[in-house]
């Protein structure tokens, strides 16, 4: 059973935008911390943004993406989105959606999450 399904990756020029989607199941979505992590070749995995899908709602961002990326949710679709604007080559990585019921809130993506991870979707930003 696919618990988290990512989509929306691709190649874009610097300065462009992409929107990633992560669809979960009732178990991996409701009242969970759902977040996005990324890993570039040769680098460690980095937390990007997190959101709590229950109440009180809240979002968290890494300093490297604040002001450029926005995480949001659609409860009816059990989907979390990551809108990425003003992309730079430094954003090139495979992006993974993650769900961890015990990660928060706050769903701080700078901490280690131990729940479910999706298969990842690649993002390439060309200079």
pLDDT digits (tens, 9 = 90+) for 101-122: 888 889 999 898 989 999 999 9
Helical (H) or strand (E) element with 119: none
pLDDT of residue 57: 87
List the structure tokens of 72. Answer: 């949001």
pLDDT of residue 56: 87
pLDDT tens digit string along 2-26?
Answer: 799 999 999 999 999 999 999 999 9
pLDDT tens digit string along 32-80?
Answer: 999 999 999 999 999 999 999 998 889 999 999 999 999 999 999 999 9
pLDDT of residue 39: 97
How confident is residue 1, by pLDDT bands cut at 50, 70 and 90? confident
pLDDT of residue 2: 72
pLDDT of residue 50: 97
Residue 61: exposed, middle, or buried by beta-carbon count in 10 A (0-12, 13-18, 19+)?
A: buried
Q: How far is CA 49 from CA 1, 22, 60, 102, 126, in A?
A: 25, 13, 5, 16, 22
């Amino acid at each position: 059973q696919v618990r988290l399904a990512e989509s929306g990756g691709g190649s874009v020029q610097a300065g462009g935008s992409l929107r990633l989607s992560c669809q979960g199941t009732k178990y991996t979505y409701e009242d969970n911390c759902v977040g996005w992590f990324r890993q570039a070749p040769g680098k460690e995995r980095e937390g990007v943004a997190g959101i709590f899908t229950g109440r009180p709602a809240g979002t968290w961002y890494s300093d490297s993406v604040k002001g450029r990326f926005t995480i949001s949710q659609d409860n009816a679709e059990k989907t979390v989105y990551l809108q990425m604007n003003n992309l730079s080559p430094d954003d090139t990585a495979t992006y993974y959606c993650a769900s961890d019921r015990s990660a928060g809130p706050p769903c701080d993506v700078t901490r280690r999450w131990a729940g479910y991870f999706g298969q990842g979707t690649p993002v390439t930003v060309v200079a």
